[in-house]
Structure 1
Amino acid sequence: MSTREKVLSEIAPAGIIRAAVNMSNAALVRWDDQAGALVGPSAQIGHKIAEQLDCGLSLIQYGSAADILAAADRGEWDIAFIASDPSRADRFSFSPPYISVRATYLVPEGSAFRTVGDVDAEGVRIASAKSAAYTKQLERILEKATVSHTDSPAAAIDRLVRSQCDAAAGLTEFLVQSLERITGFRLVEGAFSEIPQTIAVHRRAIHASAFFADFVHRLNASAGAP
């Protein structure tokens, strides 16, 4: 059996790769009305994978990383474009990063907070999606402020809008998008984290894991990445 056949037997036994994408991060994937399709790095890489393996591709949209993880238990996807997270290494194998995204805070216009460092103060409540990789990083670095978990990135913003917290954490691109539908809020300066984005497969897919490690290395090399 060839390497291609071994990989496909693990992630596309029916000839189609089901690839999970996180629609809460427009920097990685978004719907383009003019193109009539999903566009962005995750979508583009998904098509490159399908082309290289000579198979079909189905991009499955999820509202958050938490939704993707829950769908894994139901066997809904074969590969996923999600952040690398050592705490999930018992369930998934992660490729090297193909891109990194930044996370920051959304605050009310009248807030005294100007930079990410200002937000880490006594009594400050930060709403953040409980299953997001940036939330875990945030909880590790905060010294004074506390994190209030929400079910999704959108729910964190809703909590801020209802004045139930002092700041909402999220991926910069998603927070910028949110400003199109709400007023009276702004981003602080800087980022509290950069989150590496990877291609994840189930731990049992050992041949696919090796394939994606090599695939991303070659992808980054061709793009001039270090």
Structure 2
Amino acid sequence: MNPSEFLLNAFAPEGRLRASINLGNPILAGRDENGQPCGVSVDLARALAAQLGVELELVVWDAAGKSVEAVEDERADFGFFAIDPKRAERIAFTDAYVLIEGSYLVREDSPLRDNAEVDGAGTRVTVGKGSAYDLFLTRALQQATIERAPTSPAVVEHFLAHGHEVAAGVRQQLEADAALIGGLRLLPGRFMVIRQAMGVPRSRGEEALRFLAQFVEEMKESGFVAEALARHGIQGASVAPANG
């Protein structure tokens, strides 16, 4: 793909490409031993900048909601998000590049044994504010109450500190917290599959979205995404199937 001048202006109107990176999802991004952002989303951001032939700037956040707002407000030119209809009002999404499982965590002595049992009166479910789980469960749960931690990495700490009944989030993160803390268990299976995609502000136009969508398909087909997941030691995620 050879980007036109129009595309360069659409993606990088300030002359550099600003990528919104969410460190709140460990499957997508984290920090290396030197404290620098790393992960599959960072690798994809660098590959996109190289394809466009522009300088890359990483705009880093500790929570999904903040990362989304940065793109919505055009303080960043694109980002990496779970596809959600609410977010799609202002952000144009590609197809998914990675699929992630969303799971529930409870205390070892909890009476809850199945995902379907979570949506009951008196059950408080802790989620990261503005996360894909927050958006999805706010729509899906009819009887249980949503309680919001400041960020996704703080979910288990918030869940324990406030005595809530359930924590919801990225399976990998919950498994790591359960192993570290003890006395906790994951409910079997998953309550949702998160389709992680790339997105741009809708104001950037259809041509920019088509270019980005084609970029994502190329990165999946070439093995780039699979290699990035393996290189960063990521488990609990899979490469999304090709679009169509």
The answer as to whether partners of 2:28 and 2:40 remain within 8 angstroms in 1 is yes
Percent of pairs with identical residues: 31
Map 1:153-168; keep pairs closer than 5 Å.
Answer: 153-168=152-167
Cα distance in 2 for residues equivalent to 1:97 and 1:80: 13
Question: Cα offset for 1:200?
Answer: 1.1
Match of 2:85 in 1: 86
The answer as to whether partners of 1:96 and 1:198 remain within 8 angstroms in 2 is yes
Q: Deviations over 1:20-50 (max 9, x none)?
A: 111111111111217x643322111111111
Match of 1:110 in 2: 109
Match of 1:69 in 2: 68
Cα distance in 1 for residues equivalent to 2:156 and 2:103: 12
Match of 1:29 in 2: 29
Taking a change above 3 Å as real, the CA distance of residues 154 and 25 of structure 1, as seen in their structure-2 partners, is closer
The answer as to whether partners of 1:104 and 1:190 remain within 8 angstroms in 2 is yes
Classify the secondary structure of the residue corresponding to 2:203.
Answer: coil
Q: RMSD of the TM alignment (CA)?
A: 2.4
Question: Cα offset for 1:93?
Answer: 0.7
The answer as to whether partners of 1:16 and 1:58 remain within 8 angstroms in 2 is yes
Match of 2:43 in 1: 44
Map 1:57-206; keep pairs closer than 5 Å.
Answer: 57-72=56-71, 75-179=74-178, 182-206=181-205
The answer as to whether partners of 1:30 and 1:40 remain within 8 angstroms in 2 is yes
Question: Cα offset for 1:164?
Answer: 3.1
> What is the identity, as a one-letter code, of the residue corresponding to 1:12?
A
Deviation larger for 165-174 or 131-140: 131-140
Taking a change above 3 Å as real, the CA distance of residues 56 and 180 of structure 1, as seen in their structure-2 partners, is farther
Cα distance in 2 for residues equivalent to 1:181 and 1:57: 36
Taking a change above 3 Å as real, the CA distance of residues 133 and 121 of structure 1, as seen in their structure-2 partners, is same
Match of 2:231 in 1: none
Deviation larger for 159-168 or 20-29: 159-168
Taking a change above 3 Å as real, the CA distance of residues 83 and 30 of structure 1, as seen in their structure-2 partners, is same
Q: Deviations over 1:136-182 (max 9, x none)?
A: 22233335433223433244323311243101111112323434664
Taking a change above 3 Å as real, the CA distance of residues 151 and 68 of structure 1, as seen in their structure-2 partners, is same
> What is the identity, as a one-letter code, of the residue corresponding to 1:153?
S
TM-score normalized by the length of structure 2: 0.81
> What is the identity, as a one-letter code, of the residue corresponding to 2:100?
V
Classify the secondary structure of the residue corresponding to 1:149.
Answer: strand
Classify the secondary structure of the residue corresponding to 1:173.
Answer: helix
